[in-house]
Structure 1
Amino acid sequence: MTHGAGEQAVPRLGREELVDEPSQREVLSHEVLQRGHVQTLVREEFRLSGDVTLTRDFVQHPGAVVVAALNERNELLMIRQYRHPARMLMWELPAGLLDVEGESPWDGAPRELAEEADAVASEWHTLVDVQNSAGGSTEATRVFLARGLTPVPDADLHERDAEEAEIERAWVPVEEAVAAVFAGTVHNVGAVLGILAVDRFLAGSLELRPADAPWQAHPRHADWS
């Protein structure tokens, strides 16, 4: 890279330096604008630095988990359901909100896999963490890899309702799922992240983290120590 006169050099960073860090700014005021069923719209005034203060509206969200359930044939268990804001029937990976009080993400993920896909897994790892829209929401999502899959016993099957009552399930080869992502026919962010991460894992270029790895992007599950 070349630099013009008076232009500061742009540093080059490696893996060990590319780390998002917590930054707690002083909150001067907090106002609830609208409380919804799952999400809450709030307005906060905070001190950016020195005498600079800003006001921002954003959505408070409990966060979510996504499960990339992979079988021994390198197929992903995918589901299709209606998403009203998008007005679409969307192919996704099993997923759900972290809205059970006191439940950890690594407990929530198996629950969602059982409820949405009628499956249980014996082996769990963390694939990827994402802050869905950091400029406008606290929503954080963790994508898990689940292997060693078996069906939920008939007696323990979850009775799905609302949009989940229409869920369809299918096994999709990973290479076909990747092709769908780049063809622009799969849009769900959790599905896109999970599919591409699993593809990297199968290529041998992704080091898995434990299922209970610290989750820096989630305010309730971060471990800054």
Structure 2
Amino acid sequence: MTCKPLIGINADYRAAARNMPAYSYVAAGYFQSVLKAGGIPVVLPPMDDSDSIRTALDALHGFVMIGGGDLDPRNDGFMLHPSVRPLDPVRETSDRLLIAEISERRMPLLGIGTGMQLMNVHQGGNLFLNIKEDLPNAVPHHDPQDPNHRHTLNVESDSLIGRVYGDGEIRVSSRHHMAIDEVAPGFRVTAKCPDGVIEAIESEMMDWFAVGTQFHPECAAASALDIRIFEEFVDGARDRMSVEDLRLVA
């Protein structure tokens, strides 16, 4: 029987308000996609303790960093744009500790939406804070009236995204107003919207299986092909698990 890798998923956080307690949560599409792809999802609530994060990651074989609100640009030395709706600091603090440890370990990583943006920023890239201002000729990438808004995608054939989607026109689920500007060293762009907005990046580092999508392959409007991204990722985590098992035996 094929062993199933344990795949970590970070959770979002909402602070207490009025008569509502604080709570942590994750959209079901993320863990359902991991399950369908053959992995076992393990949801981690936000933590601000590096030792606890390291202990949790010791038990995992890969990690999915989810989408959500916006990264606070002030944490990376930039001004706060009026369009930015920052993540709760509790989540952002935890996410930044997670990405630091994941990248140090070269743990297989799938970043989606905000997760991809954080992966890029942490590795030395940066972001457009508002597509409408920074790229005025871009097509809409977010529709507040339509959570299932989609746009077309151009992919590089010699990439994970290329293996998933193949040739022909592709449409993906889009819900963002920030986007990658400069790509981090060690990564390359593997998919763009026809307007030039970066929609996927992949690691070129031999020792790190890492891929990010700005679009949302986990959402309810995703196509039947989108689950293949999770399958490719879970396979990568399984390969990493097999290598680690061999090291233990040796």
TM-score (norm 2): 0.22
| Higher helix fraction (1 or 2) | 2
Comparing both structures, which one devotes a greater share of its residues to strand?
1
Rg bigger for which structure?
Answer: 1
